[in-house]
Amino acid sequence: MSTILFSSLLLSVVLASAPPTLDTDEDLQKTGFGRPPPRHGLRLLKWYVKACLDNNMEALCDPVAGEYGFHPFGNEEDLLPRLPDGQPLGYFTIGNLHSPHAQDLPYDVRKDYDPNDPLSNEDRVLVKYNENTQHVSDIFISEHYNKTRTYIIGPKLLAFLRQLTHHFYIEM
């Protein structure tokens, strides 16, 4: 009985496990995420962390209002850690270049989009967002919600990305 209980607890912990954390730019490069073109995810990530967050992680791009193609991410398959009940927290995803308002993304982010080439539209940035405080607490990157290709951006990597200068779009 207790073994069964323990096993199911263990199983739910494993199922709800968080994606691996990327701590450095080298970690990020090693994943191969979002590059080379027509992949757009690396440019999307770099734009997002600079343009859509203030220094206190307050959202400058409104996920709830659907700015830049943001929409809620249901997390039905536990791609990301489960959210606690009863809190104003939600996951939101950005990066589908076919979404309404995605045309508001910078040209450098969306320029390689080809509706006939899935590779040009497979990268996503996901955020954990508190609708009351309007703060983002976690940022994830994902190759079209593939669990083995989904990562958390750790605080050190986030700080690194946020201090990059404006020529970041063309460095890859």
Ligand X SMILES: *[C@@H]1O[C@H](CO)[C@@H](O)[C@H](O)[C@H]1NC(C)=O
Binding site for ligand X (CB under 6 A): 146, 148-149
Closer by beta carbon to ligand X, 17 or else 146: 146
Task: Provide, rounded to whole angstroms, the least separation between the CB of residue 79 and ligand X.
Answer: 12
Task: Provide, rounded to whole angstroms, the least separation between the CB of residue 98 and ligand X.
Answer: 18
Task: Provide, rounded to whole angstroms, the least separation between the CB of residue 149 and ligand X.
Answer: 5
Residues 6/9/10/14 CA torsion (nearest 10 deg): 170
Closer by beta carbon to ligand X, 31 or else 133: 31
Closer by beta carbon to ligand X, 57 or else 79: 79
Q: Which residues pair with 136 in a beta bridge?
A: 129
Task: Provide, rounded to whole angstroms, the least separation between the CB of residue 69 and ligand X.
Answer: 21
Question: Which residues, in sequence order, are CB contacts of 119 under 8 Å at separation 6+?
Answer: 38, 39
Residue 88 has a CB neighbour count (10 Å cut-off) of 10
Give one DSSP letter per residue of 49-68, joined into a string.
HHHSB-TT-BBSS-TTTTGG
Residues 60 and 134 sit within 8 Å (Cβ to Cβ): no
Rg value, the chain, Cα: 17
Closer by beta carbon to ligand X, 33 or else 68: 33
